[in-house]
Amino acid sequence: MTPEIGQRVAGPLDARCHGNSDDAPFISTPRFAEDHDAGLRWLHTRDGIDGKRIALLGHSVGAAAAIHSDLLATLKSGSSG
């Protein structure tokens, strides 16, 4: 049996300088990763959200920022993957 995925979707995150977010004088992959981290912290405060079942998906620089964000979280937690 295949597990169901995507039962709940919080929606897209507009990183700085994208969509409805604020403008910024300087943007970079680490700054986009900060935006991901802020979104993840917010999701963890929401009722009904299982923090162990959150995933990031990005395209182009968003994908690089998702990888950067995950790498930093892994390093902070001291886990190996």
Whether the per-residue pLDDT at 5 is higher than 70: the answer is no
**CB atoms inside a 10 Å sphere around CB 24:** 12
Residues 22-39 have pLDDT tens digits of: 888 888 889 888 888 888
How far is residue 53 from each of residues 6, 29, 37, 66, measured CA to CA in Å? 10, 24, 15, 15
- Please state the pTM of the whole predicted model: 0.69
38: Cβ contacts below 8 Å, ≥ 6 apart: none
Q: Is 11:46 a contact under the CB 8 Å cutoff?
A: no
7 phi and psi, to 5 degrees? Answer: -65, -35
Q: What is the mean pLDDT of residues 55-62?
A: 83
